[in-house]
Amino acid sequence: MTRVMESGRYILGQEVTAFEQEFAAYIGVEFGIGVGSGTEALHIALRACGVKSGDEVITVSHTAVATVAAIQLCGAKPVWVDIDPHTFVIDANRIERAITARTKAIIPVHLYGYMADMQFIRSIADRHGVRVVEDCAQSHGAASGGRKSGAWGDMAAFSFYPTKNLGALGDAGMIVTNDPKLGEQARLLREYGWRQRYVSEIPGLNSRLDELQAAILRVKLRYLDQWNEERRKKAKIYTEMLTPIGVVCPSERSGGDHVYHLYVIRTKKRDRLQVFLEEKGIETLVHYPVPIHLQKAYEDLGYRKGDLPWTEQCCSEILSLPFFPEMKESEMRIVAQEIRSFFEKKGANDTE
């Protein structure tokens, strides 16, 4: 931070350039383009892929609203596909039937630190000639078959919001790609369409990764694998303690590296359990309580309750437990014991 302040260069300087290179190398791709946030990373990536008004983009309703906001910023229409209830990510078997002549891209969301089935999704996209833009906002360092999230799509978008596995001290984002033409398009779009300063080749935006945030992220990147390993160890402890109680714990496929951005359980007693834990001084959250297709802001898209049954059921049952790399095992045992005591209480197992 001192180095940046003493440099006198605060916008798109050497720290941003270095972090773009270092993060791209970590993911295993050629190019990184730093932008202002994860939402803007998705928006610019879609724009670089040619997504425009009238196009359709396939994604999930069970995600942060930023995924859909980015689609609509392009003037395109989100087309929702249901999720796999065991992994909470897009059910790849349902994608192909959602493709139409207007489909321009697919956004698989790697939710909670778990990757969608990218090998299958990539094969579908290639067969139909549509782009894949990975939403990696919660999957820094996750992998499938030894290949990291962000290295599968035509482009990928990362958020470095402070709560992420790799978080800045404010908003920040990154686009990564192996395609030099898409990378160049993204660079033009992030700063007014400039290749030469003050000369716009295309209509662009103002979305630049801050030099100070880049410097901070460069340091934190060195610890990402270590922090992710701690998350995996902590998740294993939670799973061992909670599985016998009867709640549904996170699952992962063989050959995949889950990075547990969140530790999310499922139970039909979710609402009562959450109140019970709050009374015990244990804060929990729901990521996310209302599927996007049922939110007022998106009702004009024509989706109704019942259209995405697994998404809707999961949103009524999921609960994010306290979870972070530095969490003590003794604290985790307190959480697990309180959950156990809830289910052992008289009447806890009654039908709601």
Domains of the chain: 2-221 (3.40.640.10), 224-344 (3.90.1150.10)
Helices within the chain (DSSP H only)? 2-7, 14-27, 38-48, 66-73, 118-128, 180-190, 211-221, 224-242, 270-279, 309-317, 329-344
- Please state whether the peptide bond connecting residue 298 to the residue before it is cis, i.e. omega within 30 degrees of 0: no
Taking each helix axis as running N to C, give the angle between helix 270-279 and helix 329-344, from 0 to 180 degrees, rounded to the nearest 10: 120
pLDDT tens digits, 282-314: 999 999 999 999 999 999 999 999 999 999 999
**Bridging pattern class, strands 103-106 and 131-135:** parallel
Residue 256 confidence (pLDDT): 75
Spatial distance between the Cα atoms of 223 and 12, rounded to a whole number of angstroms: 24
Residue 131: count of CB within 10 angstroms of its CB: 22
Helices within 107-223 (DSSP H only)? 118-128, 180-190, 211-221
| Alpha carbon separation from 3 to 6, 45, 160, 169, 269 (Å, rounded) | 5, 31, 21, 16, 52
Q: Are 211 and 4 in contact (CB under 8 A)?
A: yes
Phi, psi of 102, deg, nearest 5 = -95, -5
Closest of 320, 214, 221, 314 to residue 261, by C-alpha: 320
Residue 346 confidence (pLDDT): 52
Q: Please tell me whether the overall predicted TM-score, pTM, comes out greater than 0.95 for this model.
A: yes
Q: Which helix (H) or strand (E) holds 134?
A: strand 131-135
Stretches in the chain below the pLDDT threshold 50 = 351-352
**Bridging pattern class, strands 31-35 and 173-177:** antiparallel
Q: Are 58 and 81 in contact (CB under 8 A)?
A: yes
